[in-house]
Amino acid sequence: MRVLKNLTTETQRHRENIKNFSAKLFFYSVPLWFNDFFNNVIMLKKYACFIFVFCFLGMSEKYLSSEEIAVSTGFPSGIWESFQTINRVNCGASAGKYLWLGTDKGIIKLDTFSGMYGVYNMSDGLSDDEVCSVAVDSQGNIWCGTLNGGVSVYNGKSWSVFNISNSDLSGNSITAVFIDNKGNKWFGYGDKGLGVSKFDGIVWAAYTSSKGLINENIQAIMQDYAGNIWFGTHRGVTKYYGSSWVSYDKTVGLADDDIQSLAAEKNGYIWCCTKKGGVSRLDGKYWKTFTTDDGLANPDVSSVAVDRQGNKWFSYDYNGAGVTKFDGKKWTTYNNANSGLGSDYICSTVIDETGSKWFLSRGGMSKLYAPDGIKWQFSSAARRNVMIGVTKYDGQSWFNYRIAAVTPSNCILSSAEDRSGDKWFGTREGAVRYDGKQWKTYNVANGLADNLVYSIAVDTSNYKWFGTSSGVSVYNGKKWTTYSKTNSGLAGPSVRAVAIDKKGVKWFGTDGYGLSKFAGKKWETFNTSNSGLQDNNIKFITVDKADNKWIAVSGSGVAKFDGKKWEIFTSTNSPLLSNTVNSILVDSKGNKWFGTASGISKFDGEKWTIYTAQDGLADNGVLSLAEDKSGNIWCGTYNGVSIFNGSGWVSARASTSGPAHNIVNSILIDKSGIKWFGTENDGIFRFSND
């Protein structure tokens, strides 16, 4: 370990304490597998893994081989794969036979002929997973406006990024991307009053209210058939033609100033969808407003698209009213109840080269084929009004494309491997099992005590024990049994930690009620009033080779319990870096590694060693620890993953081709040596070394 200068006062104190600290511390003596397939999730595989889900004929899967990627200097080379839940489809664009769908977890490339799709996210080079707008240029390049990462461009092979640090973009939050008939790219900023940027491939130009925009918060950009550029804002709409600007708001006939979408017809009509007033149409001179009295299903209209026959398609995102078709005379509304539309919450409509309509919801997409029919097909995570998937309508049939289910939530709190090699993950929405081929979710409907799963342990009989916010559930492969504070000797309702000792005794750490011991029939509770436990809030438990229990006590350091005596370690009586201990690892040599809010403290029984970000840790906030077969220590932090090989640390972060989310709550290293990282908001990442 390196000795560094300019350490923080606290860290320096701990380093000095290590030299003189005695190993003798303070001793305290005391006497529907398929059902889950529809749970709003998609499996994302690094470098364009494809999944084809066909709702009526069943499911088939194809995966493109993952490419090896280079990670940060010193980090092992290998393959990263991601398994994530897509919660929203935000936008879409058609390019030949492909449909590009911007989501909260990257961008989907959907082959509209075969139904196969691939996903690109930050691990592939996308600057931000939240894609708010997408457009395709004449060369087939995909331009993605992201929530916080600027603009990402995909040329079919690789990604490039424009942001405020490497270009003249005014901001990194892009809500609208549009490409005009001259190839100019227009980028609208949705917040902070930044207006619009234009990029002709060489020169950037910025347009704000000082140039003529009615408002600088841009929600939509469109070009009419005369070549004029239109901007929809929170305070009205602006038309830009040549060097002149003209704006419209409620005072001149708009139904509402909050413009959400724009569309143009060949006859020169301009359609403006508003937040509260329905739809306004400009015929060149006069505005006309259409409301629910005329045939709209709701006055809050999210988007408009005009098909080849001149039909207008209006959608309703936040009010769940489906889609409405207006042919110039007749209004027809399609919804989940009267058609094959998969979701009533439609944020956008994309019309592909065949004339088919694709309806995108925050949860997915519906497709309506061709111009002349009424048949629908729908794809979703579940048959309900809010879904993840796509519905296509060709005018005769509705086609549903379901996004394959993986985990019920992107927030992964815990993980374990059972004796059959199945991987188990605890989430905020239940537990999920992966057998190498299929994912299956277990929740309260199956018998789990609560969907919030903090901890998982597997016993010698291959029974799985789950610590939840409403007790402990055990699953023997067929039957679920729950132990709670009311039906057993469990100390408290919320179980944060589960561990199984060498004798098969189960230990449960509760939230505020101490430690429970369960020896098959007999229960025993340890708390501050009857034992040497320093606090009743238990965060983590592990067991060493001597069957000692090592207990992370929330905000109060660590307790060691040998069955009779208690030994307490805190930041005041030992070189423990912080009393906030999130994870404990006992390695193959018997060393104890304590992952704290201020770094790692390692204790070999006599000597302490500490590691912080100044030694190479990705971050001082350490959340999870694991050891691989080679003795390397893997560490999950608030800012990526770090590995200690015995002499130094190397790290991988989202910015350096590590997992796309930096907060790593859990690490599982399976029997094959594959690493599984559970993240706070982006699901599971799997890393396979060469």
C-beta separation of 601 from 618 below 8 A: no
pLDDT band at 667 (very low <50, low <70, confident <90, very high): very high
Q: Cα–Cα distance between 21 and 653 in angstroms, integer? A: 35
Task: Show the 3-state SS of 204-251.
Answer: EEEECCCCCCCCCCEEEEEECCCCCEEEEECCEEEEEECCEEEEECHH
Into how many domains does the chain fold? 1
pLDDT band at 366 (very low <50, low <70, confident <90, very high): low
pLDDT band at 510 (very low <50, low <70, confident <90, very high): very high
Residue at 425 is within a domain: no
pLDDT band at 660 (very low <50, low <70, confident <90, very high): low
What pLDDT sits at residue 657? 57
What pLDDT sits at residue 363? 55
What pLDDT sits at residue 659? 65
Residue at 109 is within a domain: no
Q: What is the mean pLDDT of residues 174-188?
A: 97
What pLDDT sits at residue 72? 36
pLDDT band at 407 (very low <50, low <70, confident <90, very high): confident
Closest by CA to 126, choosing from 99, 140, 108, is 108
Q: Is the pLDDT of residue 339 over 50?
A: yes
Which residues lie across from 432 on neighbouring strands? 425, 441
pLDDT band at 64 (very low <50, low <70, confident <90, very high): very low
C-beta separation of 621 from 638 below 8 A: yes
Q: Which residue has the higher pLDDT, 15 or 676?
A: 676
Dump strand ranges (E) for 534-680.
538-543, 549-553, 558-561, 565-569, 581-586, 592-596, 599-603, 608-611, 622-627, 633-637, 640-644, 649-652, 664-669, 675-679
Tokens representing 114? Answer: 């075969």
The residue segments making up the domain with residue 578 are 1-31+570-690
241-283 per-position pLDDT tens digit: 988 999 999 999 999 999 999 999 999 999 999 999 999 999 9
Residue at 678 is within a domain: yes
What pLDDT sits at residue 122? 85
What pLDDT sits at residue 192? 75
Q: Cα–Cα distance between 298 and 17 in angstroms, integer? A: 68
Q: What is the mean pLDDT of residues 464-482?
A: 97
What pLDDT sits at residue 257? 97
Q: What value does the mean pLDDT of the chain take?
A: 85
Q: Cα–Cα distance between 85 and 440 in angstroms, integer? A: 14
Q: What percent of the chain has pLDDT over 90?
A: 69
Q: What percent of the chain has pLDDT over 70?
A: 83
630-656 per-position pLDDT tens digit: 999 999 999 999 999 998 999 887 655
Task: Quote the pTM value.
Answer: 0.73
How deeply is 612 buried, as exposed, middle or buried, from its count of CB atoms within 10 A (0-12, 13-18, 19+)? buried
Residue at 588 is within a domain: yes
What pLDDT sits at residue 403? 60
What angle (nearest 5°) sits at the alpha carbon of residue 292, between those of residues 286 and 298?
110
Residue at 673 is within a domain: yes
- N-to-C CA span, the chain: 27
C-beta separation of 673 from 689 below 8 A: yes
What pLDDT sits at residue 205? 96
Q: Is the pLDDT of residue 66 over 50?
A: no
Q: What sign does the dihedral 42-46-48-51 (CA atoms) show?
A: negative
What pLDDT sits at residue 111? 87
Residue at 583 is within a domain: yes
Q: Cα–Cα distance between 358 and 390 in angstroms, integer? A: 7
Residue at 661 is within a domain: yes
Closest by CA to 475, choosing from 446, 451, 497, 495, is 446
Q: What is the mean pLDDT of residues 456-465?
A: 98
192-220 per-position pLDDT tens digit: 789 999 999 999 999 999 999 999 999 99
The CATH number covering residue 685 comes to: 2.130.10.10
Q: Cα–Cα distance between 502 and 218 in angstroms, integer? A: 62
Residue at 168 is within a domain: no
